Structure 1
Amino acid sequence: VALTADLIRFPTVNPPGEAYRPCAEFLGERLKKLGFETEFIRAEGAPGDSDRYPRVNVVARLDGRSPGPCVHFNSHIDVVEAGDGWAVDPFAGVVKDGRVYGRGACDMKGGLAASVIAVEAFME
């Protein structure tokens, strides 16, 4: 819940594509603390990518720990415009009555948070 709320606070609205790098770096730092090697890759040439609004991805790998199959988690950090009618700030990451409110809570920042938490639990 806390990680979902933290991710919602990055206004990664597409278009135009602001806050991609800070959000990717936030995730990268969290995964780095688990021992993952992280790199930030710009999706140059992808739709919407520009020097003003670079589409930055974080790739985190845990190499050399054990032989066997690879587990791959894939998510996205962009969200669509918030639109009208919100009872709370769509980028505040409000937790109320057991629910998380904000842009991306269901698609896809909540799922991304669940993936990160699963990795952390697995590592523990």
Structure 2
Amino acid sequence: MIFKKLSMLCFFLVIASMTAYAQSDITGKWKTTLSGPQGEMELTFNYKVENGALTGTIASQMGEIPLENGKVDGSKFSYDFAIQDMTVSHKGEVVSTDELKVVSQRGEMKLTRVEE
């Protein structure tokens, strides 16, 4: 009986630690390259997760844009950014410790972690 209780406790602790790991896993610098009518553009995403809130910036050779309304829930996250008079919403998911999948109205991107 005690073994069963200890096993269940260990299981819940592992799940809780995995959730905490997933929530903080995207903090850092990520990159992707987009192809467009004017050629390729490299984007750098700087994410910071704190207490379930996602903040940061998206940078390119044209400048830097702050993230808005960022949230993290387990391995999923979301944020918006405003460019000119338009708000672009993004939803993402942790694929692995070095890869994120991000989807917006403009399509899907694969982001790769930048080692610093």
Query: Taking structure 1 as the reference length, what is the TM-score of the superposition?
Result: 0.29
Report the structure number with the largest CA radius of gyration.
2
Q: Which has the higher strand share?
A: 2
Structure with more relative contact order (C-alpha pairs < 8 Å, separation 6 or more): 1
Query: Taking structure 2 as the reference length, what is the TM-score of the superposition?
Result: 0.31
Q: Which has the higher helix share?
A: 1
